[in-house]
Structure 1
């Protein structure tokens, strides 16, 4: 590392999906209720998101990612969460 250059390889946040926006999806014959988003800031400045949740039948289940549906309210949640994360990062108080 030279000078002030610091290579940041990833920025990611986890966001709880409000109850009214949660949805279900299936994988390998098992239905999951999606309640959390993992949002990443990509090198080009755009955002990418994946959804995670628990099996509807209970239990821990596998850690499997799901695509986030193309719904305006979920896109708005992702954008608000990214803006809030930027505020929090910008106001950090150090170690």
Structure 2
């Protein structure tokens, strides 16, 4: 790729495991889910967006469902720390392996 052509990046997203002590439950369609993963996206304006994902608390192979992330200081800090760490990892990449 020529150095005068900038690639267009359409999305930046990371997946973050929610530590056990920060996990919570939420209900959808009468079924309770334990939220264990965050998907964090960097929006074009530089802000972050996050969704939480989880599985049915009762077990089984239930669907993997997304939920909004509550506005809790501990979760806001987790998202910010994860985004910062992802930036460090991206900046230190060693190319295609």
Q: TM-score normalized by structure 2? A: 0.93
Q: Write the distance in 1 (CA, Å) between the matches of 2:61 and 2:72.
A: 27
- Looking at structure 2, the residues matched to 46 and 90 of structure 1 have their Cα atoms a distance apart, in angstroms, of 19
| Alignment pair present for 1:61 and 2:79 | no
Residues 55 and 65, structure 2, Cα contact 8 Å, conserved in 1: no
Q: Distance in 2 between matches of 1:65 and 1:49?
A: 10
Match of 1:45 in 2: 46
CA distance in 2, matches of 1:59, 1:41: 32
For 1:25-44, list aligned pairs within 5 A: 25-44=26-45
What's the CA shift string for 1:48-80, capped at 9, x where partnerless?
A: 000001100101212321000010000000000
User: Structure 2: how far apart are the matches of 1:90 and 1:22?
Assistant: 29
CA RMSD of aligned residues (A): 1.3
* 1:84 to 2:85 alignment: yes
User: Runs of 5+ in structure 2 lacking a partner?
Assistant: none
Count of aligned residue pairs for this structure pair: 95
Matched, 1:18 2:19: yes
